[in-house]
Amino acid sequence: MEATHAHGAGHAHGDGHSHHPKGVMRWITTTNHKDIGTMYLWFSFAMFMVGGAMALIIRAELFQPGLQYVEPEFFNQMITLHGLIMVFGAIMPAFVGFANWMIPMMIGAPDMAFARMNNWSFWLLPPAGILLTASMFVPGGAAGTGWTLYPPLSIQMGIGMDMAIFAVHILGMSSIMGSINIVTTILNLRAPGMPLMRMPMFCWTWLITGYLLIAVMPVLAGAVTMILTDRHFGTSFFSAAGGGDPVLFQHIFWFFGHPEVYIIALPAFGVVSHVIPAFARKPIFGYTSMVYAIASIALISFIVWAHHMYVVGMPVAGQLYFMYATILIAVPTGVKVFNWVATMWRGSMTFETPMLFALGFLFLFTIGGFTGLVLSNTAIDVQLQDTYYVVAHFHYVMVAGALFSAFAAVYYWLPKWTGHMYDETLGQWHFWLSIVSFNIAFFPQHFLGLAGMPRRIPDYALQFVDFNQVSTIGAFGFGLSQLLFLYVVLKAIRGGEKAPAKPWEGATGLEWTVPSPAPYHTFEEPPVLSGAKGHE
Amino acid sequence: MNGGTVVGTRKAGPLQLLRTVLSGLFGVRHSRTHEEDAAGLRPIQIIVAGVIVVVAFVLAIVTFVHFVAAK
Ligand code: HEM
Ligand SMILES: [Cu+2]
């Protein structure tokens, strides 16, 4: 602290610090929230490409019935790794990356609260990513259980399963440390004059997500550790032969799993709650009720988990309980959509790329929410469980929800990060290609599911051919469109129109008061907040 | 909070707390009633009340299910 002050007062801070290691060592040793945020984002993009390639292998195999390209065992490994890599490697690190870059700037803090732990949280990720991808090449291959890792299969697999368990442990540690850091930063480092109820919505969603992560990642770690001891140390937590119960695993997993889907959704809500007001040029509608609703979504997400388990066998009373609770959680979620629509109501809107992605999010996330409601009905879910309908549901909420909101975030903040405007025409192309191909890929999966096509199989009956072919074509279109995204981002990093400090007319908040690109150190002295409302 | 005046010291009753949490659960409310509440409530009160309401929420559904599922 002393040191920062003594020399922060004298001269201007730039990238040219002589005592900073250069080259690779800069990135390995960095404790700067911007460097770490950048690394999170690139790691996430790399994992997005790896997981995406796996998805294309899956879709290629499903283009025709019968087996064409891969063995069924390998197909199952692709299903598993695709899910784990996308959830833990792509989506979650992307939002931690945004948090690292933006939260200190949004609240006027010089850096994250625990700068060194921040470095460690990031550097745990690459080993986990390597473990997961490398597990494909060990004897027996990767885990073939699906991302849900259900026993008894997960007790029978080879060493690839152990690697997946280890990877999940490491990823969990990273998430927990990242969350502690974010929560502490938000609670302790806000600029004087920024009370909690005036801080930016993205910080609120991350504060609540942080608590969710701290609550449920240990649960997942416990579940996979029990699998590990069942596999190697003679316990029988989940093995009926030894007096255990495989269904117990499903309860523990989904006690983590349902809050997990909100861990993914809430920061996405946060991003959209910045982008829509900025491009509608109106403050967010119902800031306070939004905060309360997000908090209650988080609490209620703990009491609905068994809607993933309607068919494993539970008493009717249990089914009814989980059905009613799940239907009720849709109320605060629906109110969010209402808030965003009301924000746009009579605003003066423009449709730059971030806004397009936010609107795409709004439309498609709502579709995903509705199919979730359909599935929450036990009588219907008994038909649809483990069919492509479920696959369609969660891709609408995770891809068109979380991923589109991540794209909105990248386009929205790219000028701040790089100092250049991205190519607006190409950005809009990226949006339209993505949203059209996404719907071609996933909308037909609703029909496939309703017609009874099971998920997680490499082969299928003839009546499913047409929609599968449409879906595969869409999936390849979606995958290729993302190369355009990479190009747009690289182009903006290398040059382009100079971005002003606040490139978006309607944007509000402290992050737009610093120059673009944001200097290596920002807010070494806390800013003076003049207005009553920090977020406006 | 707001300018450090003493408005914030007025004590809020349990009913008002309940109203805040329930409207939070629902997700929309009048901004005026919110300002009134915000003046008298501390975060810890809201958190404790929120957890209690969720427990009550679970019990209410369980009771309801009990009647629906009864023969
Ligand atoms: C309105 C809110 C939602 C409701 C009512 C809902 C309901 C459901 C139900 C009942 C299932 C189980 C279907 C089955 O396996 O038969 C399910 C699956 C799933 N949901 Fe949702 N959901 C909602 C929102 C979300 C969100 C926001 C996400 C993530 C961002 C999400 C991600 C998932 C995933 C990943 C699965 C499948 C997990 C698997 O079996 O692999 N859902 N949802
Ligand atoms: Cu769920």
Sign of CA dihedral A61, A67, A69, A73: positive
pLDDT above 50 (res B7): no
> Given pLDDT bands bounded at 50, 70 and 90, which one contains residue A291?
confident
In a domain, B22, yes or no: yes
pLDDT at A12 over 70: no
Residue A15 has pLDDT above 70, yes or no: no
Say whether A387 sits in a helix, a strand or coil. strand
Ligand 1 proximity of A373 Cβ (cutoff 6 Å): yes
Q: pLDDT digits over A16-34, tens only?
A: 445 677 888 889 999 999 9
| CA dist., res. A427 & res. A429, Å (int) | 5
**Angle, alpha carbons A51-A57-A62 (nearest 5°):** 130
User: Kindly report the CA angle at A189 between A185 and A195, in degrees rounded to 5?
Assistant: 105
Cα gap A311→A391, rounded to integer Å: 17
Is B51 within the bounds of a domain? yes
Percent of chain A whose pLDDT exceeds 90: 83
3-state secondary structure of A171: helix
DSSP class of residue A296?
Answer: H
Residues facing residue A387 across a β-bridge: A454
Distance (Å, whole) CA A167 – CA A127:
8
Q: For residue A106, which of A201, A205, A210 has the smallest C-alpha distance?
A: A201
Mutating which of B63, B65, B66 best tests the A interface, going by the most A Cβ atoms within 10 A?
B65
Three-state SS at A252: helix
Dist. CA B62–CA B53, nearest whole Å: 14
Retrieve residue A315's tokens: 């008493």
A215-247: pLDDT as tens digits? 999 999 999 999 999 999 999 999 988 999 999
Chain A nearest C-alpha distance from B65 (Å): 6
Q: What's the pLDDT tens digit per position in A144-174?
A: 999 999 999 999 999 999 999 999 999 999 9
> Which parts of A30-124 fold into alpha helices (H)?
33-61, 72-84, 92-107, 115-123
Does residue A333's CB lie within 6 angstroms of at least one atom of ligand 1? yes
All structural domains of chain A, each given as residue ranges with its CATH number in brackets, are 34-512 (1.20.210.10)
User: Which residues 265-304 of A are in CB contact (within 8 Å) with B?
Assistant: 286, 288-290, 292-293, 295-296, 299-300, 303
CA nearest to A340, candidates A385, A287, A418: A287
Cis peptide before A517 (omega within 30 of 0): yes
Q: Tell me the chain A residues in contact with residue B27 when contact means C-beta distances shorter than 8 Å.
A: 286, 289-290, 292-293, 296, 331-332, 335-336, 338-339
Written as one string, the DSSP assignment of A414-480 is: HHHHHSB---HHHHHHHHHHHHHHHHHHHHHHHHHHHTTPBSS-S---GGGHHHHHHHHHHHHHHHH
The confidence score (pLDDT) of residue B11 equals 61
Q: How far is A322 from chain B (nearest CA, A)?
A: 9
Q: Name the nearest CA neighbour of A510 among A101, A105, A59.
A: A105
What are the helix (H) ranges across chain B? 14-26, 31-40, 43-69
Residue A136 in contact with ligand 1 by CB distance below 6 A: no
Domain that holds residue B36: 14-70
Q: What is the pLDDT of residue A7?
A: 38
Pocket mutation for ligand 1, best pick of A91, A308, A329, A383 (most atoms within 8 Å of C-beta)? A308
Mutate to test the interface with B, among A204, A290, A299 (most CBs of B within 10 A): A299
Ligand 1, atom 11, lies closest to the CA of: A308
Q: What is the mean pLDDT of residues A406-411?
A: 97
pLDDT in tens, A445-470: 999 999 999 999 999 999 999 999 99
Count other Cβ atoms within 10 Å, centred on residue A149. Answer: 23
Domain assignment present for residue B35? The answer is: yes
Does residue A116 have an active-site annotation?
A: no
Q: What is the pLDDT of residues A268-288, one digit of tens each?
A: 999 999 999 999 999 998 888
Catalytic pick from A34, A190, A274, A336?
A336
Mean pLDDT, rounded, for A362-368: 95
Question: The tokens 């200097």 sit on which residue?
Answer: A519
Query: Could you read off the pLDDT of A36-59 as tens digits, one per residue?
Result: 999 999 999 999 999 999 999 999
Nearest to A113 by CA among A38, A179, A173: A179
Give the ipTM of the model, two decimals please.
0.75
Q: Is A278 exposed, middle or buried (0-12, 13-18, 19+ CB in 10 A)?
A: buried
In this prediction, residue B34 has a pLDDT band, given cuts at 50, 70 and 90, of low
Angle of helix A465-494 versus helix A33-61 axis, rounded to 10? 150
CB contact under 8 A, A197 and B66: no
Q: Are B37 and B63 in contact (CB under 8 A)?
A: no
What pLDDT was estimated at residue A10? 37
A258 is a catalytic site residue? yes
Chain A CB contacts of B28 under 8 Å are 286, 289, 335, 338-339
pLDDT of residue A534: 43
Q: Which of A57-61, A138-142, B55-59 has the lowest mean pLDDT?
A: B55-59
From the candidates A186, A198, A289, which should be mutated to test the interface with B, based on the most B CB atoms within 10 A? Answer: A289
Task: Give distance in angstroms: CA of A462 to centre of ligand 2.
Answer: 31
Residue B9 within any structural domain of the chain: no
For chain A, percent of residues with pLDDT exceeding 70 = 95
Q: Identify which of A236, A201, A170 has the alpha carbon closest to the alpha carbon of residue A405.
A: A201
Whole-angstrom distance, CA of residue A284 vs CA of residue A222? 40
Predicted pLDDT of residue A289: 79
Segment A88-103 mean pLDDT: 96
Which ligand 1 atom is nearest residue A333's CA?
A: 1
Residue A366 contacts by C-beta under 8 Å, 6 or more apart in sequence?
A: A337
Give residue B37's pLDDT: 64
Q: Return the pLDDT at B4.
A: 37
> pLDDT at residue B49 above 70?
yes
Note the Cα A494 to chain centre separation in Å.
Answer: 27
Asked whether residue B20 is domain-assigned, the answer is yes
How many structural domains comprise chain B? Answer: 1
